A and B are shown apart, each in its own frame.
Chain A
């Protein structure tokens, strides 16, 4: 089959996300479950307050990080599959032409769930490695009775098996939907250009009405500008991924930096590291996908004698404003999310400081983002420069 186990393992991004999500959730949920089981041992009011605070914190942290990461990895999976189908249209078209049914082909997409299994497995194992340390840390000032971590099978099922199966099913279903397009379109590697053409047709009839003058106007737009527009328009999924990558970077970095207000120092540190890793992974993935997705066009332009700088401008620079847009949306989103969760969980507890938008963190994260984004674009596009025209034509 054309989709091998190897393809499934390539989704390192999803593995890392799943790993982080499960790591954090296992720690906090395991702790919460054990804590709840000793509720009757809370004798004094102070203990009860401590108890409530710890339970709430566990809920916030596993809710925010688990939920956020789950959605993120779901979106990422869908994007991967779409991208996979987009870049393997010919092979898939041949299979369909040979008589394979959509479902028969889509079935093979279950391998994409392997990355989830690997990730969740690593996360779960990793959590257990530091579990006892974590329990000590949670009860550092010895206000609660000591208790040992117990193993909960529900967590294995809920955090490893169910996500893996769910992602496998999601992969198959989504592949089914994507494969619905006619075989001939797959064979001809037709992308979404068809759609933009329908709009184009509408414009065309207007254009004839507006007569030749308008046509001449349009011709004066330099080719490189046209190329930039067309590149963005023709692969919306890539555009989406760039926005999404910037969105994740912005929200995760700021969210984890903001966590130190509600979580303990060690926790805040850990969450920040996880957030930073994830943020960088999504951003790297987004940038590499963009560069890879446009290699062919760039090579053809270079054969014709466009300089590499021209090609980069035409093909890659169009994504920049969108990346920054993603960053801004991400900032708003993380603020809203944390504020909401904090309000819901702590609604009965007094003295919880109002959660406010942190301009300082925003500025720092923005600067890091700009540097990282530009450096990565520069680095990857320089790698693209080294690909010979022949290699591209050999495909």
Chain B
């Protein structure tokens, strides 16, 4: 589905520029479950932002079903995100002035999805439709953001440390919802984490170190969120 080729990215001005990504290539297939592992500062988030079209690469290409999204205009890129991509961030980023139902509706409306309440029930928040983000626990907020991302029926879901702010139990719960929903809706998952255990849930594991991919392997039998260690 996505072919990423020779991505490079530097930050800073000419003299003290710092290369964060040094030629990254990878393949994402339909219904894939990829985990990007690596130490802090190795460039995982930057790579994720580039693949998902939030940030531009310096060089290289990201072919999505035959179109290079790095060459799209801002308007085309917006449409690309609307039609294909879902996001989940470590910090949730719910809209604070809207309740759960309306936060999810924000995703749902983009795909003309009228049954988004199903999605809220699927993440176990059917009882909290009219609560506001500040009235929810961190885990609940992250589940809202899962529902919001999936209500727009993305073909690929990007997650940056989705469990970074959660404890073990809620972390497992959120990951479990994501796997279950993936089985149901068949989107691809690309998740950034520095928790090695979570990698056991993935089909494909990509290890990064200072801007380069150092190892890629596939799990023959991915574990569920409740089988992995923490």
Residues of A within 8 A of B (CB): 188-191, 193-194, 197, 200-201, 204, 219, 222-224, 226-227, 230-231, 233-235, 297, 300-308, 388-390, 393
Contact = CB atoms under 8 A, between A and B. Distances in A.
Interface stretch (B32-40, B78-86, B183-191, B194-202): B78-86
State the main secondary structure of chain B at its contact with A.
helix
B93 A302 contact: no
A201 B135 CA distance: 13
A305 B82 contact: yes
Contact of B102 (A190, A226, A307): A226
A224 B109 contact: yes
Contacts, number: 88
Interface in B85-132: 85, 87, 89, 91, 93, 95-99, 102, 105-110, 114, 117, 130, 132
B87 to A, nearest CB: 6
A190 B134 contact: yes
B110 A305 contact: yes
Contacts of B95: 227, 230, 297, 300-301
A234 B134 CA distance: 13
A233 B98 CA distance: 10
A223 B108 contact: yes
Q: Which of A188, A219, A224 has the most CB of B within 10 A?
A: A219
24 contacts: A189-B96, A190-B134, A191-B96, A193-B96, A223-B105, A224-B109, A230-B97, A230-B98, A233-B97, A297-B95, A300-B93, A302-B78, A303-B54, A303-B81, A304-B87, A304-B152, A305-B85, A305-B152, A306-B78, A306-B82, A388-B54, A388-B55, A389-B54, A393-B93
A335 to B, nearest CB: 37
Q: How many of chain B's residues touch chain A, expressed as a range?
A: 35 or more
Interface string B52-88: 0011000000000000000000010011111101010
B216 interface: no
Given A224-B109, A227-B98, A388-B55, A304 B93 contact: no
A304 B105 CA distance: 12
Contacts of B107: 304
A316 B91 CA distance: 25
Q: Which of A303, A304, A307 has the most CB of B within 10 A?
A: A304
Contact of B130 (A191, A200, A302, A307): A200
Given A193-B132, A197-B135, A306 B114 contact: no
A301 B106 contact: yes
Nearest to B91: A393
B49 interface: yes
A230 B102 CA distance: 10
Contacts of B102: 223, 226-227, 230
A223 B134 contact: no
Contacts of A223: 102, 105-106, 108-109
